[in-house]
Every structure is written in structure tokens, then in C-alpha cells.
Structure 1
Amino acid sequence: MKPIPDFADEAEERAFWEANDSTDYLDWGKARPARLPNLKPTAKTISLRLPIALLERIRIEANRRDVPYQSLIEDWLAEDINRLGR
């Protein structure tokens, strides 16, 4: 196995793994499942213009479900993308 180099930052590490085969550096036969309960996916803030009436309907539905309206929008978007199967 080749030693994994030290990386200056995440971008350098990403570039390395895009250009190299991990099987040269890791013995995947020894890999074990890992649980990372506190890991949160990276998120990016966006600005989205919605008609006021639509936003109010979303807020009412979120309140009915007792969830934040932004989380409900995110869930709906994820469900639709998953339904597309892409």
C-alpha cells in the first residue's frame, strides 16, 4: 500500500482522490461500517423568490406538521428529485 500524503486543504485532497485510485492506498477488505451520528451535510444558503400567497400556504402546512417551513421546502424538493430517479 502506498502512504496517503498529507494535504494542505480539502481542495488539494479532493483533487488527489479524483486523480488516484483509492485501492492503491487503502485495503478496502479491512474496511468496517462507521456511524457518524453528528455529521451534518454541507448546506448552501440560497435566495428564492416566492409569491407571498404560496409562502403563506407553505408556512401554514409547516405549522400543521410542526416543522420549520424551510425544512419542509427542503424535504419536498428532495422527495421530488428522488421521485425523478436521477
Structure 2
Amino acid sequence: MSQGKQLPEFENEDDLAAWIESHDTSEYMDQMIEATDEIEVLRTRFSTKPLDVRLRTEYLEAIEELAERRGLPYQALVQRWLLERLTQEAPDLMTK
């Protein structure tokens, strides 16, 4: 075990989580135990509707190129932009 800083003791998992969020844990890595538990991830499916939007060809080509640079489908990039703008313009309309 390293001679670095000593990992604090915590009364519960909430205290541990709060501490981890506010500290750089890299100095404590040698003292931590690797998690081996399997976690089941359930994906929530949201209802969707198709949206037909007409764009100038060069705009769509630019969007497709940027999405490719970012390794995303262009529809995902456009959806991200729309959600960011909606969050800015009308956060009260966003579901939690």
C-alpha cells in the first residue's frame, strides 16, 4: 500500500458519495478495493415521433460532416442541439 494520504472512514454511502464528488480520488487509488459486483442496467424507452424538417442541402451536409467528426449519427447531434436549446429557452417545459 502506498504511503500517500489515508482514505477517510465514512459513516454511510451518502457521506462517501459526497466526499468523492468533492475530492480528487487519484491519490487514494491504491487503498480502494476493485468492485466486482455485476450491475443490471435497465434502459428506459421513451415514446418518440418522427419529425420531418426541410433544410438546405449544404446545411444538412455540414451537420452530417460534423456528426461524423464527433462519431455520432447526425440525427443524434440534431436532437442534442434541439434539447440544449429547449433547456435554455423553456426549462419549465422539460420533463424531469
Q: Could you say which TM-score interval applies, normalised by the shorter chain? A: 0.5 to 0.7
Q: Which amino acid is the alignment partner of residue 54 of structure 2?
A: R
Q: Which amino acid is the alignment partner of residue 53 of structure 1?
A: E
What stretches of structure 1 of length at least 5 have no aligned partner?
1-35
Following TM superposition, where does structure 1 have runs of at least 4 consecutive aligned residues deviating by more than 2 angstroms?
Answer: none
Q: Which amino acid is the alignment partner of residue 64 of structure 2?
A: R
**TM alignment of 1:1-86, pairs within 5 A:** 37-84=42-89, 85-86=91-92
Could you say which residue in structure 1 is the equivalent of 2:20?
Answer: none
Q: Which amino acid is the alignment partner of residue 54 of structure 1?
A: Y
What stretches of structure 2 of length at least 5 have no aligned partner?
1-40
CA deviations 1:7-48 (Å, max 9, x no partner) are: xxxxxxxxxxxxxxxxxxxxxxxxxxxxx7321111101211
Alignment length (residue pairs) = 52
Q: Which amino acid is the alignment partner of residue 62 of structure 1?
A: A
Q: Please report the TM-score for the alignment, with normalisation by the length of structure 2.
A: 0.50
Larger deviation, residues 39-48 vs 71-80: 39-48
Q: Which has the larger radius of gyration?
A: 2
- Taking the aligned partners of 1:79 and 1:62, their CA distance within structure 2 comes to 16
The share of aligned pairs that are identical, in percent, is: 31
